[in-house]
Amino acid sequence: MATEIDINRGGPARAGVGPRGEKLASADGLDLDALAGLDALDIPTTERRPLATRAWSATWPKIGALALFLLLWQVVVWTGWKPTYVLPGPWSALREFGSRLGTGHFWDALVRTVVRALKGYALAVVIGGVIGIAVARFPILRTAVGSFITSLQTMPSIVWFPLAILLFKLSEAAILFVVILGAAPSIANGVIYGVDYVPPLLVRVGRSMGARGFSLYRYVVAPAALPSVLAGLKQGWAFAWRSLMAGELLVIVPGHPSIGADLQNSRELIDAVGVMASMITIFLIGVVVDAVFNVADRQMRVRRGLVAEGNSAVRAARGRGKGRGSEGGGDWPRDDDSGGGSSGEPTGGPYLESRVGVTTSAE
């Protein structure tokens, strides 16, 4: 098989086989083999590195950045710009944060805050999703409320609180109300833009296959809109989280400890270390949620070929292509009787190397 492949890629001519493009003289079976061989050459390779390596290379820059930030913070403290009872050093803040982890109160507050966030966000997803679909579907609705959604989105959520407190008093409902108002417009806009930017060609493809109305949405529009919807969901979360924090600072429900209430409490007691510890908690939750969204986003992009190729191409261009299982040499006009098993030093660069590597493994 390797014989035909190399010849068809421009190697020396052999009995019964012409240069690329000429028909093979033999029976059908051979043609098909040759075609399969050409296909093997055509398949792009994807690089797989061990999980530990990938995890480490994703983690160390973050650790480095964090260390740098803590160092800067410490330096500012050392300069004595502010007294330490208003600006404590990172070490005492982290120690306070660590000691809080052991208290029941901390977990009570954390769980309440997270539950509020999830509840508000889930409702916002439902409401924003329905509004988004309706606006994308019916032109009259778009004319009527399309631009209002964007102006709602740009409104700082904190301005809703006076109204929320009048409507719902200092209650969970007031917080929920503002969280939903904060997040839903972004989610709706994600859906609307997603539908707007579906490539017309794909819609034609769907219609040519007989998809109409709902089935067109199910098979073409919805999956094509997914990237934008996901971006809207992510932005919606950011708004929900901000609104919630603002809400917890303003709307303190007696007997309901929360991260925001703790933060406000620490400020009132001029407990700077406590303020910092609460901020660390808020920051960490943000980091965790961001990681979740990134995983979802990355998976989607990898599936659609929007990520892996670019990365590996960049790496290959830098001459770092590795781990492709290449065994044979990379120069084309090589005598190939050995079937690609000879251990020549690859001379064709990463591109050829990968092509030959695939041929070898396909045999």
By CB under 8 A, name the binding residues for another protein: 8, 20-24, 31-32, 34-36, 38-39, 42-44, 46, 201-202, 204-205, 207-211, 215, 219-220, 223-224, 226, 303-305, 309
**Nearer Cβ to another protein (29/255):** 29
Token pair 């209650």 in the structure block, residue: 171
> What is the helix (H) or strand (E) element at residue 89, kind and residue range?
none
CB of 356 to another protein, least distance (A): 16
Smaller CB distance to another protein: residue 24 or 183?
Answer: 24
| 278's tokens | 């609460």
Least distance in Å: CB of 3 to another protein?
15
Identity of the residue, 164 or 195, whose beta carbon is nearer to another protein in the bound complex: 195
Count the residues in the chain. 363
Give the number of other Cβ atoms within 10 Å of residue 217's Cβ: 19
> Please, which residue, 200 or 255, has the CB nearer to another protein?
200
Question: Given the complex with another protein, which of 122 and 205 has the nearer CB atom?
Answer: 205
Query: In angstroms, what is the minimal distance from the CB of 37 to another protein?
Result: 11
Residue type, 125: V
Considering the complex, state which of residue 20 and residue 105 has its C-beta at the smaller distance from another protein.
Answer: 20
Least CB distance to another protein at residue 118 (A): 27
Give me the amino acid identity at 313: A
Distance CA 305, CA 44 (A): 11
Contacts of 74 (CB under 8 A, 6+ apart): 89, 90, 91
The tokens describing 329, both together, are 């040499």
Q: How far is the CB of 49 from another protein (least distance, A)?
A: 18
When the beta carbons of 30 and 252 are compared against another protein, the nearer one is 30
Are the beta carbons of 208 and 200 closer than 8 angstroms?
no
Asked if 240 and 183 touch (Cβ cutoff 8 Å), the reply is yes
Tokens of 209: 């296959």
> Which residues lie below 8 Å from residue 207, measured CB to CB, with a gap of 6+?
216
Q: How far is the CB of 323 from another protein (least distance, A)?
A: 17
Q: Which amino acid is at 189?
A: N
Which of 337, 330, 318, 334 is closest to 358 using CA atoms? 330
Smallest separation, CB 220 to another protein (Å) = 7
